[in-house]
Amino acid sequence: MMRIATWNINSVRLRIAQVVRFVEDHKIDILCLQETKTPDEFFPKDELQKFGFQYQYYRGEKSYNGVAIISKFEFKDYGYINWCKKHDARHVFVKINNNIELHNFYVPAGGDQPDISINPKFKHKISFINEMKKYFLSGTKTNKILVGDLNIAPLEQDVWSHKQLLNVVSHTPIETETLLDLIQTGDWIDVMRQFVSHNEKLYSWWSYRNRNWEVSNRGRRLDHFWTSKNLFSLVKSGVIYKDTRSWEKPSDHVPIIVDIDI
C-alpha cells in the first residue's frame, strides 16, 4: 500500500514545520507540493531527508509557483514539460512502482477577469488546460496519476454558491467545461468524487479573507487527485484533510490523502 498526498503549501520554507508534522502524523509515502515559492537551491531538501524522503524532484522560482515531489520510494524516471512555453515551474512528473507516471501540476490561477480576449492571465490558464488535454489524449493506456492545484472547481457542489460564482474565475463555464473535457478525453477518474457524492459539498480551499473560514464555509474544490481508469480499482481510500486549515499561519489550501495498493 502506498499513501500519496497532494498539497498547495503556499511557501514550503515558511511552512516546513507543517509539512513535517503532516507527513509524520499521516505516514505519507509520497507528497506532491505546489506553490513552493523558492528557488531550487533553497528547497529544504536536507530537512525532508531526515524523515525518510530520500527521493526528491522539484522545480522552483523565487516568490512564485514551484512544484515538488518528495518520496520514500525511488524514482525510475523524472522530468517536466514546459507548458505554454512560459518557462515557469508549474509541472513535474516521476515514474514510480510498476512504471506508473505521477504528474504534479500547479495550473495558472487566471487573474480576475474571465475573458481570454482582455485578460492574458486567463488566456494562459485556458491554453494550459487545452495543452494538457492534447498531451494526455495520446497516452490513455498508460498507468497515470495526476494531482495538484488545478485552480478550477468543476462541479456545482465544488463551490459554496454555484450561482454566485458562475462569473468568478475558477468556476466559469469555459473553465469547468474545459477541465471536465480533459477528464473525459484523458480517461481520468476524479478520485475524491468517487468517495464523496456529486450532490455533496466538497472543498479544498478557503480564502484568507474569511476570518472564520469554518463557520462561513465559503470554499472551493481547487485541488484534485485523478487516476487513469485502469488504476482506480487499486485505490482504497481518499480524503480531503481539513484540519491543516486550522493550524497556526496555515496555507489556504488543505491536503488530499489517497491510499493506493501499489
Distance CA 72, CA 49 (A): 9
**Dist. CA 64–CA 104, nearest whole Å:** 16
pLDDT at 98: 74
pLDDT at 201: 98
Q: Determine the Cα–Cα distance for residues 132 and 115; give it in Å rounded to an integer.
A: 20
- CA-based angle 34:76:237, to the nearest 5? 55
CATH number at residue 113: 3.60.10.10
Residue 13 pairs in a beta bridge with none
The pLDDT of residue 99 is 85
| Rounded Cα distance, 204 and 61, in Å | 24
Cell 480551499 sits on residue? 205
**Separation between Cα atoms, residue 129 and residue 135, nearest integer Å:** 10
Find out whether 158 and 203 touch, Cβ atoms under 8 Å. yes
Q: How far apart are CA 175 and CA 139, in angstroms?
A: 23
> pTM of the full predicted structure?
0.97
Q: What residues have CB less than 8 Å from 184, skipping those under 6 apart?
A: none
Phi, psi of 34 (to 5 degrees): -125, 160
What is the total count of domains within the chain? Answer: 1
* Pure H helices in the chain: 16-26, 45-49, 120-137, 173-185, 192-195, 213-216
What is the chain's pLDDT, residue by residue, as a tens digit (262 residues)? 999 999 999 999 999 999 999 999 999 999 999 999 999 999 999 999 999 999 999 999 999 999 999 999 999 999 999 999 999 999 999 999 878 999 999 999 999 999 999 999 999 999 999 999 999 987 667 799 999 999 999 999 999 999 999 999 999 999 999 999 999 999 999 999 999 999 999 999 999 998 899 999 999 999 999 999 999 999 999 999 999 999 999 999 999 999 999 8
Domain that holds residue 205: 2-260
Half-sphere exposure of 215 (CA within 13 A, CB side): 4
pLDDT recorded at residue 139 = 65
Four-residue CA torsion sign, 241, 193, 258, 41: negative
* Residue 144 near residue 191 (C-beta atoms within 8 A): no
